[in-house]
Structure 1
Amino acid sequence: MKHVLTAAALASLAACTATPPPASAPPAAEAPAADDPYLALEDIHGAAALAKVEEWNARTMAALSADPRFEKDRAEARAILDDKSQIARPGQVFGDMVTNLWRDADHPRGIWRQATLASFNAGKPQWQTLIDVDALGKAEEQSWVWHGANCLAPDYNRCLVSLSPGGTDADVVREWDRRTRSFVEGGFTIPLAKSDASWLDADTLLVGTDWGPGAMTDSGYPRIVKRWTRGTPLAAATTIKEGAAGDIAVRGFSILDGDTRHAFVSQGTSFYASDTWLLRDDGSLVRTPVPDTADIQGVIGGRLIAYLNKPMDAFPAGAVVSWPIAEALAGRNPAPSLVFAPTGRQAVQSVATTDNAIWVALLDDVAGKIVTLRPSAAGWSARTAALPANATLEMVSSDDARDTAYVIAQGFTLPPTLYAVSADGAARAVQSLPARFDAATVDVEQFFATSKDGTRVPYFVARKKGAAAPAAALIHAYGGFRAAQTPTYLTSEPYRAGPLAKWWVEDGQVHVIANIRGGGEYGPAWHEDALREKRQNAYDDLYAVAEDLVARGLSTKGRIAVSGRSNGGLMAGVAVTQRPDLFGAAIIGSPLLDMKRYNKLLAGASWTAEYGNPDVAEDWAFISRYSPYQAVKPGIQYPPVFFYSSTEDDRVHPGHARKMAARLMEYGQPVYFHEYREGGHSVGADHAEDAVRAALLHAYLRRVLIEGDRSAP
């Protein structure tokens, strides 16, 4: 898959999943407001702060591990996570080989391995280990976490391997040889930083990293992209593009079109705007015709493909368009042409190119579809892939030369199945997980709630057939950064909580995924309706879903839990402080909560296009209406909250959760707290930690919502 960029790509670049790497050392925080008594908890590795964290961790662990089901839950979660029948997600296809990163009980940090494509497609892959991350960490006395490998086409023998100590966004990049299965002595090496490296050719890289003082943007991302030639020191690399301190990031990347490699440099002027240049053979840069609000998706047949987040000429927001790249390289301004436009209830989620086809992953009223497009006399000929209906569909990789995409399909009761999909739409199952429960015992429905302003908000419900109603409900939501939320198998709980949803449904309770505004469920407009001063719309959508559950007799006020991580953690924090009457519990992971200072902490400054800038009086006027940390007041009974986070989260500062927990405790509120020492923004560094978290969360929900125990741990 030469290039994949979702419509929610910038979400994955910051608050939701992977980011373009910020600086290895965050900018110094500015002086806080005098009325913040918990500022010391922002000292990430400070002795006093960590002592408080350990105290809270121990209290929570003691209270919840005493649940008679805790150890059984932990063991079941670990067994499911480590089961060797898990889907072997294909990574890169190397000619007739395919790679995969595999984790199980024997390899908690993973093994990077390869198999012949023929054996993989037959469902009987014969794996050969390339890098054993656990063994490497032991040999090098480092707690390595795999961050991926970028291998150079067409032979894919030389790879840039990224390894993170403890799972932070910062990593070390080292050149590795697939033939010798060893790191290249004297090869390319980029020291620990939040770097960005791309191949130009076998002896040249485009690199953005921490070059020294002033090399990072105010948001903490690389500001300078340089060309680095083999055999020269990194410090001797020559500058290709330098951005301003106020930019979000400057990065280089490359895209293959057949055997032709096109190099690009992108300058992010705001979180949702990037100017993009093509790098010519002579080293000069020429601006692409792609609007700064559009996302480049790939190059196919000499045409540059992009997704429009804003209308352009006659093309609507949400459409996919193309330009002739030769014209762009020549410095001309070629006219675009339409590739694909979704209907009113559809939204493009991701786009990819293989040698002769474009692949579009869609949501149609939040149900997944894959459409393949190939050039024809009439423009582009479209085929819809023969995949399960009403499922979540994820394009994970492709075989470019054979025009085949690998897609995982799943749903609440549909076990994940990996399909090989050909450009004519035919789909063949490669591997399917065994059922973890009897799907016939679970009812799955999609409902629509009406938000405060009349907007129709979809949500999905899973519950046990015949279970008593009303019951306790658990609502997962996110509501930001164009990131859609879709149903996954009940043993694949959102936010790496394993089988929590399965347990909850088996308990006779209600599991919900809410498609609130701010995500990408209905394209750019769905996201824009929750931007900046419109943020309250996302929260009103959440409340509408919760109240609709009550109106349908599925749950009752005070027996509804809200769950979210990162931006979703902010949403859950807002829900607790704005509607303590409606919610009886909240699972808040890796959250933003102090919105007065979020832009001064780690990568926070990069998200002002999403939330606004609290240092601007007009922006703080609307941010202050929902910022959870400032909203906590004495004399109000808030629901018991469970915070989880990671000390080594260098994207969203762990101080958010620490300070909010301290403030709630100050006012006598019950708080559960668990901060992992490793794992980065995704929290769990391995399956063992994920299994513990799943068991803790189940014990917490049972204690608070089923047993009605509101006492402090």
Structure 2
Amino acid sequence: MIRHLISAVAVLAFMAPAMSVAQQVAEDPYLWLENVEGDDALEWVREQNTRSLAELEADPRFDEMYQEALAVLTSDARLPLGDLHGPYVYNFWVDETHVRGVWRRIKVDAYKSGETNWETVLDFDKLAEAEGENWIHGDIVCLNPAYRHCMVEMSYGGKDAAVWREFDTQTKTFPENGFFLPEAKSSLSWVDKDTLLVGTDMGAGSLTDSGYARTIRVVERGKDLSDAEIWFEGEKTDVWVQSIAEQVNGETYLFAVRGKTFFESERFVATSIDGEKKKIGMPLNADFYGVYKGRQPSPLAIYLLREDYEGDERKFFSGSLVGVDLKSGEVSEIMRASKNQSIENVGIGENEIFVQYLDDVSGKAARLQPRRSVGGWQKIQIKLPENGVINLVSVGEDEAILSFESMNHPSTLYYASGRNDLDKITQMPAFYDAQNVVVEQRFATSADGAKVPYYIMGLKDVLEQGDAPTIQYGYGGFLVPILPVYYEDPSRPQHGALAGSMWVKRGGVLVLSNIRGGSEYGPDWHQAALKENRQRAFDDFIAVAEDLIESGVTNPEKLGAIGRSNGGLLMGAMLTQRPDLFAAMDIGVPLLDMKRYNKLLAGASWMGEYGNPDIEEEWSYISQYSPYQKIIADQPYPKVLFYTSTKDDRVHPGHARKAAAKLDALGYDFYYYENIEGGHGGTANQDQLAHRTALEYVYFAKMLMGTQ
């Protein structure tokens, strides 16, 4: 106990608490587990890993599931999704040979014809070996339109904090005296080949309360970062400040973004480093997608509204795409989404704007063209397959790469050019036999009467028979829609390719819950579950579970639930509010201690979503659901699986650690797995992801299907 008290003191030493350290430790005896790299905390982690892995990996189904997951995640048959830049398509690729990944490119015409003669630009496996570093790739930011001068982000083990290094795509080298940013949570943009705008950790006073940059500085080639002058400065209470540089038709537009909350931002624009920064008079809750010039007399800043906006002469509605004239400030409507639609992504071409949107949670895409004679914009539907998920992969001058997929239909890649031209590039082969797999959309009624859609996937005879082992997935936050994809994001094991091969073929059923908090029906669907209304997201998930039981799909002894990050918070609420509904819960990289979440890593940046627990009025509603505080004795909790990552510098691993330790002290059994590397994704490479995915599915098999 003394050793743990010392660790807790170390955790709290940087704070100025309202109560003494001893009082805080008495209130929360597991604070010592917040000491991420502390010896005693890591000893506890290793003990839990050893105990849990010994049991889960010993299940005879584990090895087979691991091989199935690895085959999907490292298959060469995956679609080579790429970014259009000039004559090339650039792609990042991971397989059994390239565990860390290779950045590569191919000519557009060759890509369209399905050729595979990719040219390697940067091999991260060779780089890591040559430099003796555990490099995990991150973002890549290049100067348009030439796309020669690039900044490459690399982290040690997958953290959000990373180093940035300049890379030349022509010589395929890191220039000897190129730009370099040391490890930090940084953002940047190119002004020209010799100038960057950079937001990074510059020492005391340079970060916001959320741990992100508070200043944007002008970094010139050959000059030291410490000498860079401040170009824009925000407040300490802001979430972040960032820069965006748009090169359009030979002109450069520099944007300073002041993130006042996670969703609300002020934006300022200038046409040069020394030019006046003019505030753009748009609502704070709006998403900026870039600058469109086309044949307009002046450029338009393209925004997606997340709230209604009263212009000078008309009202613009939440969920609409609008353009702001950067010279006059005049606002015009480009596309208005109906109540059952949600614009999800926007790509700006030279003369057209491409949009990806949902219509009753079904994917659609269109190209928008300005009407020269009568004004306004013409919407031309892109004729892709129906009843699935459409992804706007990349937009070039007036061309786009798009994909279509559904949970039982492998991803297909298309190239759209010209007014009605649509070429099929390639289709991913099936990772499982979907011949008898049924995917249906159903609706449940939530506690307040709202109709909540959900997708259900299973073998036809399994669904007809009913009473099936079922996994229900949910997220419900941050405008993230949960869509019936086949492969789009394989880090989430609820998607079709992995679920089909690892769960459905074994007689299991998968359910995707489109609960409030996401963007399935636009901004209103998200805002309905913000802050004091968070319980609506939980009620929606409960409504879907009850509908599954009432309709005979499953029963509480065979129903499991899965969620990660914000979805991990959802799982914590289900554990403490309705444990009677679930026989298993997979709780990944979760938020659980909502009393302290804003003091841990990036937590303060999410107060726009959850509220501020340090304000008594806001803690009064957060406390009604905060899972960590709600864990008590003598409850019918299922044996849960927690997983997290020591290197997660976004959601603190202390959330999962402390909840597990509290359950342990109260006499509940649980599984726990903490990867020592991997960042917020929980893994650092595809092999680790396959291992964790197998752990998750074998857990559900043990809990819902019984021993083998």
The normalised TM-score by structure 1 is: 0.92
User: In structure 1, how many angstroms separate the alpha carbons of the residues matched to 2:37 and 2:62?
Assistant: 30
* Identical columns (%): 41
Q: Matched residue of 2:48: which SS?
A: helix
Q: Aligned equivalents of 2:586 and 2:368: distance in 1?
A: 41
Cα displacement string for residues 348-405 of structure 1 (whole angstroms, at most 9, x for unaligned residues): 1111211111111111110000111011133111111111101111112122x2x111
Amino acid at match of 1:162: E
The one-letter code sitting in structure 1 at the alignment partner of 2:51 is R
One-letter amino acid of the structure 2 residue matched with residue 521 of structure 1:
E
Q: Does 2:483 match 1:486?
A: yes
Q: Give 3-state SS (helix, strand or coil) of 2:342's partner.
A: strand
- The one-letter amino acid of 1:42's match is E
Correspondence for 1:266: 257
Alignment match, 1:7: none
Q: What are the within-5 Å matches in structure 2 for residues 143-222 of structure 1?
A: 143-222=134-213
| Alignment partner of 1:63 is 2:60 | no
Measure, in 2, the Cα distance between the counterparts of 1:237 and 1:533.
43
Aligned match of 2:100 in 75, 86, 109?
109
1:355 corresponding residue in structure 2: 350
Q: Distance in 2 between matches of 1:410 and 1:440?
A: 16
Residues 29/419 of structure 1: CA separation in 2 closer, same or farther (3 Å cut): farther
What is the CA-CA distance between 1:426 and the residue it aligns to?
A: 3.6
1:289 offset after TM fit, Å? 2.4
The superposition leaves residues 618-637 of structure 1 with CA deviations (integer Å, 9 ceiling, x where unpaired) of 11111011000000001112
C-alpha separation between the residues in 2 aligned to 1:490 and 1:555?
A: 26
Instruction: For residues 271-305 of structure 1, give each alpha carbon's deviation from its aligned partner in whole angstroms, at most 9, with x where no partner exists.
Output: 22111000232333111122222111121121111
Distance in 1, matches of 2:368 and 2:12, equals 43
Cα deviation, residue 471, structure 1 = 0.9
One-letter code aligned to 2:63: E
1:487 Cα offset (Å):
0.7
Alpha-carbon separation, structure 1, partners of 2:140 and 2:557: 47
Rounded Cα–Cα distance in structure 1 between residues aligned with 2:343 and 2:418: 18
**1:411 lines up with 2:403 in the alignment:** no
* Counterpart in the other structure of 1:252: 243
- Mapped to 2, the partners of 1:288 and 1:164 lie a distance apart of 34
Deviation by residue 1:651-673 (Cα, 9 ceiling, x = unmatched): 00000000011111111212111
User: Secondary structure of the residue that 2:660 maps to in structure 1?
Assistant: helix
1:604 partnered with 2:603: yes
Mapped contact 2:586–2:640 kept (Cα < 8 A): yes
Does residue 54 (structure 1) correspond to residue 51 (structure 2)? The answer is: no
- String of CA shifts for 1:514-567, please: whole Å, max 9, x gaps: 000000000111011100000000000000000011111101123211111110
Partner deviation per Cα, 1:399-420 (whole Å, 9 max, x = no partner): 2x2x111112111101011111
Corresponding residue of 1:285: 277
Aligned counterpart, 2:419: 424
Secondary structure (helix, strand or coil) at the match of 1:537 reads helix
Rounded Cα–Cα distance in structure 1 between residues aligned with 2:178 and 2:613:
45
One-letter code aligned to 2:325: P
Task: Write the letter of the residue equivalent to 1:325.
Answer: L
| Aligned AA (1:667) | L
Deviations 1:460-498 (A, max 9, x none): 000111123111210111000111110112796662577
1:436–1:491 CA contact under 8 A, matched in 2: no
CA distance in 2, matches of 1:33, 1:252: 41
- Listed one character per residue, the Cα deviations across residues 316-345 of structure 1 (whole Å, up to 9, x for unaligned) are 100011121233xxxxxx221111001111
Counterparts of 1:457 and 1:444, CA distance in 2? 17
The answer for the alignment partner of 1:383 in structure 2 is: 380
Give distance in 2, aligned partners of 1:335 and 1:428.
37
State the alpha-carbon separation in 2 of the partners of residues 493 and 555 from structure 1: 26
Superposition deviation, residue 708 in structure 1: 7.8
2:68–2:501 CA contact under 8 A, matched in 1: no
The 1:30–1:701 alpha-carbon spacing in structure 2 relative to 1, beyond 3 Å, is: farther
Contact 2:491 2:681 in 1 (8 A): no
The match for 2:28 among 18, 27, 36 is 36
**Equivalents in 2 of 1:485, 1:296: separation in Å?**
22
Aligned pairs, number: 676
Separation in 2, partners of 1:693, 1:299: 41
Q: Name the residue aligned to 1:6.
A: none
Unmatched 5+ residue regions in structure 1? 1-24, 328-333
Give the distance between the partners of 1:169 and 1:237, measured in 2 at CA. Answer: 23
1:453 to 448, 467, 489: 448
In the alignment, the residues of structure 2 paired with residue 496 and residue 705 of structure 1 have an alpha-carbon distance, to the nearest angstrom, of 17
Higher relative contact order (CA 8 A, sep 6+): 1
- For residues 708 and 312 of structure 1, what CA distance do their matches in structure 2 show? 58
- Asked whether the equivalents of residues 278 and 285 of structure 1 are also in contact (C-alpha less than 8 Å), the reply is yes
- Match for residue 594 of structure 1? 593
Per the TM alignment, residue 425 of structure 1 is displaced from its structure 2 partner at its CA by 4.6
Are 2:386 and 1:394 aligned?
Answer: no
Which residues of 2 match residues 213-252 of structure 1 at below 5 A? 213-252=204-243
Residue 644 (structure 2) pairs with residue 645 (structure 1):
yes
Give the whole-Å Cα distance in 1 for the aligned partners of 2:422 and 2:637.
50
From 280, 284, 307, give the equivalent of 1:310.
Answer: 307
Q: In 2 relative to 1, CA 174–613 (structure 1 residues): closer, same or farther, beyond 3 Å? A: same
Q: Distance in 2 between matches of 1:48 and 1:115?
A: 50
Q: 1:225 to 1:435 in 2, by over 3 A?
A: same
Aligned to 2:76: 84
Change in Cα spacing, 1:300 to 1:444, as seen in structure 2 (3 Å) is same
Q: TM-score, normalised by structure 2?
A: 0.93
Unaligned segments of structure 2, at least 5 residues: 1-10, 18-23, 294-298
Change (3 A) 1:677 1:389: same
Local SS of the residue matching 1:41: helix
Shift of 1:257: 2.5
Distance 2:506 2:456 in 1: 15
Answering whether residue 345 of structure 2 is matched by residue 320 of structure 1, we say no
Match of 1:270, SS state, is coil
Counterpart CA distance in 2 for 1:410 and 1:322 is 31
Q: Distance in 2 between matches of 1:299 and 1:26?
A: 46
For 2:508 and 2:145, the matched residues in 1 are separated by 52
Letter in 2 for 1:428: D
Change (3 A) 1:29 1:441: farther
Report the equivalent of 1:576.
Answer: 575
- Compared CA separation, residues 650 and 26, structure 1 to 2 (3 A): farther
Supply the AA of the counterpart residue of 2:653. Answer: P
Asked if the contact 2:73/2:490 (under 8 Å) is kept, the reply is no
Whether the 8 Å contact between 2:366 and 2:381 is mirrored in structure 1 is: yes
Report if aligned partners of 2:214, 2:234 keep a CA contact under 8 Å in 1: yes
Indicate conservation of the 8 Å contact 1:372/1:425, yes or no.
Answer: no
Q: CA RMSD in A?
A: 1.7
SS at match of 2:698: helix
1:433-457 residue CA offsets vs partner (Å, 9 max, x unmatched): 1012222210111000000000000
- Deviation string 1:86-127 (CA, Å, 9 cap, x unpaired) is 111103x33211211110001110011111111111111321
Contact residue 27 and residue 218 of structure 1 kept, 8 A: no
Q: Distance in 2 between matches of 1:109 and 1:545?
A: 39
CA distance, structure 1, for counterparts of residue 488 and residue 92 of structure 2: 20
Q: Residue 434 of structure 2 aligns with which residue? A: 439
Residue identity opposite 2:625 in structure 1:
Y
- Structure 2 counterpart of 1:598, one-letter code: Y
Q: Distance in 1 between matches of 2:144 and 2:290?
A: 16
Closer/same/farther in 2, CA of residues 702 and 512 from structure 1, 3 Å limit: same
For the 8 Å contact 1:419–1:429, the answer to whether it is kept is yes
